[in-house]
Structure 1
Amino acid sequence: MKFYQLEPEARRKLLQDEGIALGQIDDTVLRRLDELSENVVGQLRLPLGVVQNLIVNGQKYWVPMAVEEPSVVAAANHGASIFARNGGVTASSDRQGIYGQIVLKVNASFSLIGLEKEFPKLVELVNQKFTSLVRHGGGVKKITAVQKENLLYLKVLVDPAEAMGANKTNSILEFLATKLEAHAGIDEKLFAILSNYPSQLTTVKVKIDPETIGGLQVARRVALLGKIGLDDPYRAVTNNKGIMNGADAVLIATGNDYRAIEAATAVLANHDGQYRSLSKWTMQGSYLVGELTLPMAIGVVGGSIKARHDVQQSFAILGQKITSKTLAEIIVSVALANNLAALLAISTVGIQAGHMKLQARNVVAELTDNEHERKQLLAAMISEKNYSESHAKELLAKIRKEK
């Protein structure tokens, strides 16, 4: 029997027989996880934190973030609190659909004009086949094609309704490709699969009174850093990493495909041939204005979202009636909040001071399980502003000796 065919308990035993130490896991949890993935032998947990008081289009939200780095959650809360003092962010989304791609080999007898005449009929045929998607407000919206020598590239726009839509889109494309292979002049299908090209774009904007962030000089420095991010790829990639700190944490918490968003984001950052910052910060009159657009091909149903109790907990935090559009706007707002907090840190005390203060918790957690010792040690490290592990060990020895 192959490894993937074994029961999860049997897989764990094989690893343990080889001397690999595995953490304890409840049998029920192990079985549930085995239904979600392949070759399951255990679980990896992430802390679930929250952003308080994020205001998007006048509505307040608690937002879940799954991430092991405390500074990411702290930065999101800091940025969100500044947004709240300035009336929150405004957000809008262009959610026409995601793109699928079919590439076919054609011969000299193929007529693109002839095939294009059949596109309306093909759209109707697909939507009759996938009626459940249409009932939920989705379906195929448009088919376009370009021929390059003996290759035909078809682009299919699919509205996935409230799902991310990857699996449904791939099923639609395979169905379409089968129908197309019978068309005159088409020799064979090369592939039919969704594209993670940027689509479902969401834009958020915020207008900030400089007095809420330390004054006009600080605001101008943030705007200058924004300009540098647009001009210099070394700064841009780090700026964008900070943006995705916030976005990825919410995507993971809500069971969405953060890998697809990361891939699409990289394309968007390089859309004009130079890699640039995804966010823009400018002074407009006496106000600092921030804007961020991200591709958000996400869902609130489908995939493993309904099957995962941890993800459902996240949706309970957000609010049970959350839509894919609203969730996209929340995610991009959190991303912009993280970005602002990072730029403010760079503009003032520096990024490392706050980061290391939060990371000190991890150092303390590794050194002692005693809650009283942890509190004393963390307080001493913060007081002395020395967060190295070696210094923490010295402080802990001193605490224990005094005790």
Structure 2
Amino acid sequence: MKFYKLSPEKRRALLKQQGIDLSPISPAQLTAMDNLSENVVGSICLPLGIVEKLLVNGKEYMVPMATEEPSVIAAANHGSKIFARHGGVKVKNQRKGIYGQIVLQVNKTFKLKSIKDKIPNLIDVANHQFTSLINHGGGVKKITIRQEKQLVYLKVLVDPAQAMGANKTNAILEFLANLLVDFDGVEEKLFAILSNYPSQLATGRVSLPVNSLGGKEVAAKIALLSQIGIEDPYRGATNNKGIMNGVDAVLIATGNDFRAVEAAAAVLAGENGYHSLSSWKLEEDSLVGQLTLPMPIGVVGGSISARSDIQDAYQILGDVDSETLASIIVGIGLANNLAALLAISTAGIQAGHMRLQARNMVATLETTAENKELILKQMRKDKKYTLEYAKELLKKLQEKK
């Protein structure tokens, strides 16, 4: 029998015969995972941490973050606390919808006007076919068309309502494409699929007094680092990675497609030469930060309702719609960015990062929980964060006992 047709238990047994002994997993958990993916043999678990207070558009939120990097959550909390003391993050959303593409191959008898004249009718027919989306406030909003030689490009704008909308958009595009292939002069449909080009944008802005950051000299350095990130792609890429550390952690916690956001963010960062997605500028006695991100996300659909771990994250967030969640995520990205730039401008980023990472190192030691805490405490006291030093401390403890 083919591997994908086996039960997850039989797949695990087959791997064990090959010398691959996987970690134990409960039958219930294994079944739940098998319902979510393909060729399932186990699960990967991430810690779920919390940002205690993020103030966005005048309202406070606790924000769930799924990541194995303690410094990411620590940084988000640090940045968020600074924001909250000074009015929080103000976010504006431009949620046009998702773009999809249909590309047709045509012959010389094809007349572009024949489809152009039918666009209003095509929108009506599609929306009638997908009434459930209309009932939730979404639907096909606009179709534009152009021809390049023997190829005809249709760009379809779909409002996915409260869902991310990838599957529904693709279904709409396939439906429309099947109608279009019957037009005179159309040879075949080349593809009908959504585009991950950035369309649903959220822009967050904060204004911080320079004394909240350690004075004007520190604020000026942050502004300079920001400018370097805009002008130098090497710095810009690292700056954006720091932003996406926080963004991806919230996307994963809320069951959203972080890969779609990453792809769209890369396009946005690459416009007019690769640059940082954020900017920080001194304006009199304030440091003003701004971040724009594509947010093709949802709060329903996909695996969101099917996963109890994801529902835990929404319990933490409270009742949020897609626009609110987009605003929260941009706020977290900006908080992570500020914390990183502030660390670089003062003590340096590595010391704090390694202090938090020390817990991961100690976790790998084969000893008691009590010994691990003693070792971690000593490492932080001595400010020595290497696995070799952790092992040296363990050896001393064992010799003492």
Q: TM-score with structure 1 length normalisation?
A: 0.98
Match of 1:133 in 2: 133
Cα offset, 1:368, TM superposition: 4.0
Match of 1:347 in 2: 345
1:373 equivalent to 2:367? Answer no
Cα offset, 1:37, TM superposition: 0.2
1:283 equivalent to 2:282? Answer yes
Alpha-carbon distance in 1 for matches of 2:373, 2:35: 41
Compare 104-113 and 181-190 and name the one that shifted more: 104-113
1:31 equivalent to 2:31? Answer yes
Supply the AA of the counterpart residue of 1:74. Answer: A
Alpha-carbon distance in 2 for matches of 1:127, 1:23: 48
Match of 1:185 in 2: 185
Alpha-carbon distance in 2 for matches of 1:219, 1:117: 57
Give deviations 1:338-397, integer Å, cap 9, x for gaps.
Answer: 000000011011110000000110111111442221221111111111111111111121
Q: TM-score with structure 2 length normalisation?
A: 0.99
Match of 1:313 in 2: 312
Match of 1:44 in 2: 44
Alpha-carbon distance in 2 for matches of 1:394, 1:178: 68
Alpha-carbon distance in 1 for matches of 2:344, 2:83: 18
Cα offset, 1:211, TM superposition: 1.1
Supply the AA of the counterpart residue of 1:163. Answer: A
Cα offset, 1:210, TM superposition: 1.2
Match of 2:151 in 1: 151
Q: Helix, strand or coil: the match of 2:364?
A: helix
In the comparison of the two structures, how many residue pairs are matched? 401
Compare 21-30 and 365-374 and name the one that shifted more: 365-374
Give the gaps of 5 or more residues in structure 2: none
Cα offset, 1:308, TM superposition: 0.5
Give deviations 1:37-88, integer Å, cap 9, x for gaps.
Answer: 0000001100000001100001000000000010000000000011011110
Match of 2:120 in 1: 120
Match of 2:332 in 1: 334
Supply the AA of the counterpart residue of 1:156. Answer: V
Supply the AA of the counterpart residue of 1:333. Answer: G
Alpha-carbon distance in 2 for matches of 1:100, 1:305: 23
Match of 1:56 in 2: 56
Alpha-carbon distance in 1 for matches of 2:372, 2:11: 37
Supply the AA of the counterpart residue of 1:371. Answer: A
Match of 2:99 in 1: 99
Alpha-carbon distance in 2 for matches of 1:23, 1:364: 20
Alpha-carbon distance in 2 for matches of 1:199, 1:150: 27
Match of 1:77 in 2: 77
Supply the AA of the counterpart residue of 1:298. Answer: I
Cα offset, 1:400, TM superposition: 2.7
Match of 2:202 in 1: 202
Alpha-carbon distance in 1 for matches of 2:366, 2:16: 28
Match of 1:295 in 2: 294
Alpha-carbon distance in 2 for matches of 1:206, 1:378: 36
Alpha-carbon distance in 1 for matches of 2:378, 2:26: 38
Q: Helix, strand or coil: the match of 1:37?
A: coil
Alpha-carbon distance in 2 for matches of 1:2, 1:398: 53
Q: Helix, strand or coil: the match of 2:137?
A: coil
Alpha-carbon distance in 2 for matches of 1:32, 1:372: 34
Alpha-carbon distance in 1 for matches of 2:398, 2:167: 57
Supply the AA of the counterpart residue of 1:203. Answer: T
Give deviations 1:99-119, integer Å, cap 9, x for gaps.
Answer: 000000011121212311110
Match of 1:400 in 2: 398
Q: Helix, strand or coil: the match of 1:367?
A: coil
Match of 1:215 in 2: 215
Give deviations 1:101-147, integer Å, cap 9, x for gaps.
Answer: 00000111212123111100000000000000000000000000111
Over aligned residues, Cα RMSD in angstroms? Answer: 0.8
Give the gaps of 5 or more residues in structure 1: none
Supply the AA of the counterpart residue of 2:325. Answer: L
Cα offset, 1:9, TM superposition: 0.6
Supply the AA of the counterpart residue of 2:280. Answer: W
Alpha-carbon distance in 1 for matches of 2:188, 2:114: 18
Give deviations 1:168-223, integer Å, cap 9, x for gaps.
Answer: 00000000000000111111100000000001100100000111111111111000
Alpha-carbon distance in 1 for matches of 2:240, 2:325: 20
